[in-house]
Structure 1
Amino acid sequence: MLKKLSVSAAAVGALVASAVAVLSPTAASAVSAPLSNARIATHFDLAEGQTPENVALAPGGSAYVTFAKGRQIAKVSPKGTVRIVATLPAPADGGVHTPALGFPLTAGIVRAHDGILYFLYATGTPDLTGVWRLRPGGEPQRIAALPADGLPNGLALDARTHTLYVADSVRGTIWSVPTRGGTPTDWSTAPELAPAGFLGANGLKVHDGAVWATNLDKGTVLRIPVLGSGRAGHIQTRATGLPGIDDIAFTGHGNQLLAALDGPNEVALVEPDGSRSTVLTAADGLQNPTSIALRGHTVYVLNAGWLTGKDPNLVLAHRAR
């Protein structure tokens, strides 16, 4: 990605993404196949810390969003109504010792079939950093502590094995944690996950019998098979040359995926052979895209405006078959 500018700008450009809703769409411009009809669907308030970091889609068209700097989880309705469902406790020192960033970060989020939300919080303090859970109608609860000198960022859920995978962007580690909570396991510490100056392992997805990860600094997409024993197999580099890559989403066509490129303000379509094409740009409303999700033929691109310093938003686009 970009060089580290400041704790609040490029420092965060690695993480981000969020918000889902449909308000009065604002027309945007040119896109390439297989995406079309891109438009800004909703805007968020940068001054209020509504810097979307990650999103978990829910039934009925709603979505749950983490606001990175707001320390909040929000539910966003299909009409764009935003309701805060949880605010995480602030660290005693204000989060100034949060690795790489210097402020507390609310990061990856996933939703289980029973409606339970799991999400990540990094504060640089041992009492708060880790994996958190929010049951419907309940209060947020930490279920697994993670090292305070790390930065838990990307989160993925394997519903089949009830396993959560956590990408630590500073320690270059993927942790595994049972959904019931407990002691994390350093599932993979492969050197390909390590940072190269700022942040390493970032976005995570479980797909086709493997955990897929991005490395922000190295611009790569990595695949780690999940062996029958549950252990990590040999890591494979599946794509390179993707500067500032944050999150990925699979299109439903094998290993073809969409990648959010934070610094370049682009979304790229990455083929199974690693070749890529640009399908969305700043002209379509992107403001440092940090996360991608798909619901049917709709693509959600979540933008935090970390480096542009304006208009965190949600861009929607139509995906062809």
Structure 2
Amino acid sequence: MISALSRKFLLYLAHNEAMRQVITAYGMAPQSGFARRFIAGETLEEALQVVLGLNRGGFLVTLDALGENVTREVEARQAAERYLSVLDKIHQTQANSNISLKLTQLGLDIGWELCEEQLRALLEKARVYDNFVRIDMESSAYTQRTLDMYRAFREKGYTNVGVVIQAYLYRSEKDVKDLIAFKARVRLCKGAYSEPKTVAFQSKREVDQNYLRLMKWLLEEGNYPAIATHDEAILQAAREFTKAKGIPSTKFEFQMLYGVRRDLQERLVREGYNLRIYVPFGKEWYPYFMRRLAERPANVQFLLKNIAREFLPAPSKGRA
């Protein structure tokens, strides 16, 4: 298991420019790029081929055009335009996919009104196509503003929008109760950012316990919740709980990340559950990729093996 210190170091590297240059130089190389296990490509066209392939395998999808924390208005508008194009292409190709986005991509750090304007345009386009927009959750510095923006649009009559709750935050118990009362569509995840002990549980045991508690509330009382996890124990607990409570599989979905635990993904589909794959794409893939490494030791081993393949000479094929 990755130690807390190692995880924090990997999350630190997500913002390290020198490491970014090394990883991005090789990560998306044609055929051999090791980041392609977790990233569907740098272009929308590449990503759509992945989406359609997943659909043929029985998977639902949510597409994420990667990017975070824009600092200029023009960047926020460009991000919104990218997502408008994603919605158009999903409709044109009849892909079974919705979209996931971060409010900082749409200019939340610049101003509320700018972000609100971009999100409104996306929700209107999604409404025309009978599609859905999931607002991703970011670090705890954005939690309240993200929930406020979500609630503002729900109060304006937009029902095609959902939000994310992170189980490692202390505040999530109250947030889940409020969102259930609001009939919100919630994705529950553990949380992937480095958070201090003043706002978040630090041990896996505590995070898992809180996740299970919130998950059961959402499954029993929520509005089509999305249970986002690769944790086999939690997945089994969800299956046992829904069977015991008589909750049909049509009332919720599981969500997993592209390239992570494909064996589990295929098993859940075979068992008849709705499973949505979170498919990221775009040139700004490095921070997302590093957060995935921080979550599971197998991901780190995968990276090291592929970096070694790039930098070390191949062994001689002659006789020893």
For the pair shown, the structure with the greater C-alpha radius of gyration is 2
Alignment TM-score, normalising by the size of structure 2? 0.32
Q: Which structure has more helix as a fraction of its residues? A: 2
Structure scoring higher RCO (CA < 8 A, sep ≥ 6) equals 2
Q: Which structure has more strand as a fraction of its residues? A: 1
Alignment TM-score, normalising by the size of structure 1? 0.32
